């Protein structure tokens, strides 16, 4: 139970922290130029930290940022996001505290939007505001669909689903340790191993050291849907 919270968060990241949450276009950013404060961060420095009052949101221009949470002295990465992603906005609009820390993976350039400045400005640009709204609601919808899709499914199905998705995103050869998969799914390494073996036995994937290659996406989809077991 000790790390359960973080595992769940990691799992959530696959739904919530997805890089396809890109509400703002470059044109939008230009519109907001007078309230955008360009910042840059060296590798390892923070944009914000977990628990701080969320007074600003950030739009990443270049580089990558890790979102993570601390637990018992160790960090657990929740998501890694790149250019175009908006981070911290949910906490900011909610007037709460950041739910995770954001740290630069490499040299990062970003725009910082201060809450007190951004909101009045947004009020002047309804189209922009509307786009953000639509994007947020779509995110909410995706989340619902995704959770309905995955929740209470067997780990085997979850692994299959994860592999299909990752393969679609970055090609059939995945550099993923089984422990990493387990963390993403919020399950245990052993169970993932069991699932991986099953998938290998049915010829859907090949496995190696820190590597999984998808051979038969069709079959994986069937498993992910729960039709095979």
Partner DNA sequence: GGGGGAGTGTCGGAGGAGCGACACTTCTTC
Partner DNA sequence: GAAGAAGTGTCGCTCCTCCGACACTCCCCC
Where do contacts with DNA occur on this chain (CB under 7 A)? 1-2, 4, 153-156, 177-179, 186-191, 193-194, 196-197, 207-211, 229
Query: Within 3-32, which residues bind a second copy (CB under 8 A)?
Result: 4-5, 7-9, 11-12, 16
- Assess 89 for contact with a second copy (CB under 8 A): yes
Helix then strand count (H, E) for the chain reads 9, 11
Instruction: Report in angstroms how near the CB of residue 129 gets to DNA at its nearest.
Output: 40
Q: How far apart are CA 181 and CA 172, in angstroms?
A: 16
**How far does CA 15 lie from the centroid of its chain?**
6
Of 1 and 30, CB closest to a second copy? 1
Out of DNA, a second copy, none, what residue 190 binds, judged by CB under 5 to 8 A for its kind, is: DNA
Q: How far apart are CA 153 and CA 86, in angstroms?
A: 30
Phi and psi at 90, nearest 5°, equal -65, -45
Instruction: Report in angstroms how near the CB of residue 114 gets to DNA at its nearest.
Output: 38
Out of a second copy, DNA, none, what residue 27 binds, judged by CB under 5 to 8 A for its kind, is: none
Q: Which of 25, 42, 134, 169 binds a second copy (CB under 8 A)?
A: 134
Instruction: Report in angstroms how near the CB of residue 215 gets to a second copy at its nearest.
Output: 27
Stretch binding a second copy (CB under 8 A), from 109-117, 134-142, 158-166, 215-223: 134-142
Question: Long-range CB contacts (< 8 A, 24+ apart) of 118-123?
Answer: 118/32, 118/35, 118/56, 118/57, 121/32, 121/34, 121/35
Instruction: Report in angstroms how near the CB of residue 1 gets to DNA at its nearest.
Output: 6
Q: How far apart are CA 181 and CA 14, in angstroms?
A: 11
Instruction: Report in angstroms how near the CB of residue 58 gets to DNA at its nearest.
Output: 28
Of 130 and 179, CB closest to a second copy? 130
- Assess 159 for contact with a second copy (CB under 8 A): no
Q: How far apart are CA 51 and CA 147, in angstroms?
A: 26
Of 91, 108, 113, residue with least CA distance to 100:
91
């Amino acid at each position: 139970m000790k790390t359960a919270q973080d595992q769940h968060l990691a799992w959530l990241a696959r739904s919530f922290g997805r890089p396809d949450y890109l509400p703002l276009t470059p044109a939008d950013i230009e519109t907001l130029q007078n309230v955008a404060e360009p910042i840059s961060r060296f590798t390892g420095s923070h944009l914000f930290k977990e628990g701080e009052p969320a007074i600003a949101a950030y739009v990443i221009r270049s580089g990558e940022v890790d979102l993570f949470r601390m637990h018992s002295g160790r960090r657990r990465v929740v998501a890694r996001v790149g250019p175009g992603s908006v981070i911290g906005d949910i906490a900011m609009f909610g007037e709460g505290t950041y739910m995770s820390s954001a740290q630069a993976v490499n040299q990062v350039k970003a725009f910082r939007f201060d809450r007190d400045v951004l909101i009045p400005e947004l009020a002047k640009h309804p189209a922009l505001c509307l786009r953000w709204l639509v994007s947020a609601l779509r995110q909410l919808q995706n989340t619902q669909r995704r959770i309905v899709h995955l929740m209470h499914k067997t780990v085997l199905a979850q692994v299959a689903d994860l592999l299909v998705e990752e393969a679609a995103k970055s090609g059939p050869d995945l550099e993923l340790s089984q422990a990493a998969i387990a963390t993403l799914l919020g399950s245990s390494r052993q169970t993932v191993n069991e699932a991986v073996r099953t998938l290998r036995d049915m010829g859907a994937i090949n496995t190696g050291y820190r590597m999984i290659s998808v051979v038969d996406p069709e079959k994986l989809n069937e498993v992910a849907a729960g039709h095979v077991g």
